[in-house]
Structure formats: C-alpha cells, structure tokens
Amino acid sequence: MKKIVPPADETFAREHTDLLRQKRFEQIQRELDPSVSDADTQGTLRTMAEMFPAEEPKSVKVVDIKFLGNLRNQGSSMHSLTLEYEFSDTWLLVNIAIKRLNGLSTIAAFNVTPIPDSLESVNRFSLAGKTGLQYLMLGLALAAPIFCLYVLVVCLRTKNLRFKWLWAIFILFGVGRLAVNWTTGELAFTPLAVHVPCASMTAVPAYGPWVVAVSLPLGALLFMARRSANAVPNQLQSPQEERTPSTSPVASETTSQNTETKSS
C-alpha cells in the first residue's frame, strides 16, 4: 500500500483528520469542494468528531486507495483515501476524497465509520461460521482447476489430435464468473467474462475481504464431450452374422470319395 499511495495524499488526509479531531471545523469548511452540498456541514463534522476518543491513536495506516479520475487535459484528478485509526477500544475508518484542480486541493468527500475490529482481522480468511453456499463455492474453486489440469493432461497425451495446442490453451479458459464475498457471503455473477484460470481467491484491496470466484470450465467440458463422441464409433463394431468354415485337406478328400462312390 505504501508503494501506491501518493505521499501528498496521505499527508493531506492525516492533517485534515487531525483538524477534525481538534474540532477546527471552520478550517475544514474553507477547503471543501464547491460540489459538496450539506445544509448543516458543521453539524455533520461535529458528529464525526465525536466518534474519536480523547486519546491519541495507537496506529494510523492507509488501508485503501481509489483513483477516481485523472483528467489531465483539464488539469484535475480525484483520489479516495481510507485511513484506519486504532484506539484502546475503538477502531475507525476515515475516508476522504481529494480533488485537485490546477494545483489546488479540496475535499470532495469526508466520512468516518466505526468498525468492530481492524480490517485485517475482520476480513481474515477463516472457515469458521460460514454458510453452506460459501463452502460450496470454496469446493468448486478448488475442484475446477484440478479438473482443467486433468483435461489438459488428457489433451496432451491424445495422439493424432488436430489443433492440439489450441485445445490446450482453450481448456484453461473459464467463461462467466460467480463470486462470493468471504466476509459477508454476498454473491455476484458476471455472465460476460473470461478468466484464466477458471477459479481464483483474491483479497482486493490489500485489507479488503477475500473473494472466492469460479468460472465455467467451458474449454475442458467441450474437449471431454468431443473426446467421448469420437470414442463411441470406435467401440461400436457389427458382429459377423456367419463365419465361413475352414476347408481342411481331409474334408476335401472325404467329399471327393463320396462323389466318386455315387458316380459308380
């Protein structure tokens, strides 16, 4: 996170959060962007300030950043920064959107949200207390890549297969995306999506919730269906209705003698 967060943005966010804690609302109001509309701005700032304990924070760190826009031709940009504040028995998330226009920085949004614990703890990956749907999604996310790998090995070992390398690449593709938020259990489905590999487990941003996602292994399924279809004709063979008996020399001689006896 330190590598991608502009130092100027972090400094700006920390300074204005300190102004909020010190209840210096007038100074914050002077730096609000004109797009911010609130009938009772000072009352809102006061409510947020009261969420902070009187003590100094034990730790402050950036847990998220979003680049909301960068219009270079207009000389403007907007970044949304989220700071996590740790106190003795309180955790707070401070989100501030910083708008820059012609070198001037203003506040486009300012929010304070209490959380029960650190984001790192809240969003940690754990198997305890999850729903059956989440366990099912985890099982599919583990099984899908194994199935694709098995089909890939079968493809590479298949002899006389046309376009083998194209099939090998296609087998790795997954179509569509069904994802579950591991923290909240919320499902999200994206029908028009292509992924390699066909399953993933990611945490974005760094302190965000784990997302377990799986895609339909369409390439692997089509290859196995084609392979099965080609194997059926080879297994279906018509039995011979009649077998032609072999003619031995002894049988020929016996037949010849019977013919001579009848002639006599």
Residues forming beta bridges with residue 110, ordered by sequence position: 96
High-pLDDT (> 90) share of the chain, %: 62
**Helices and strands per DSSP (H, E), number in the chain:** 8, 8
Supply the pLDDT for residue 261: 47
Burial letters 227-248, b for 16+ CB under 10 A, else e: eeeeeeeeeeeeeeeeeeeeee
Q: For residues 78 and 69, give the distance between their C-alpha atoms in angstroms, rounded to a whole number.
A: 5
| 91, 118 contact by CB (below 8 A) | yes
Q: What digits encode the pLDDT tens for the residues 175-191?
A: 999 999 999 999 999 99
Q: Is the pLDDT at 19 greater than 90, yes or no?
A: yes
- Residue entry with tokens 């298949």: 158
Q: For residues 191 and 177, give the distance between their C-alpha atoms in angstroms, rounded to a whole number.
A: 6
Q: Virtual CA dihedral for 94, 95, 101, 102, nearest 10 degrees?
A: 40
* Structure confidence at residue 248 as a pLDDT band (50, 70, 90): very low
High-pLDDT (> 70) share of the chain, %: 84
Supply the pLDDT for residue 77: 83
- pTM of the shown model: 0.72
Please give the average per-residue pLDDT across 57-66, as a whole number: 93
The CATH number given to 7-122 is 3.10.450.630
Supply the pLDDT for residue 250: 46
Supply the pLDDT for residue 175: 95
Backbone φ and ψ for 71, nearest 5 degrees, come out as -95, 90
Supply the pLDDT for residue 203: 85
- Report domain extents, the chain: 7-122, 132-227
DSSP state of 73: G
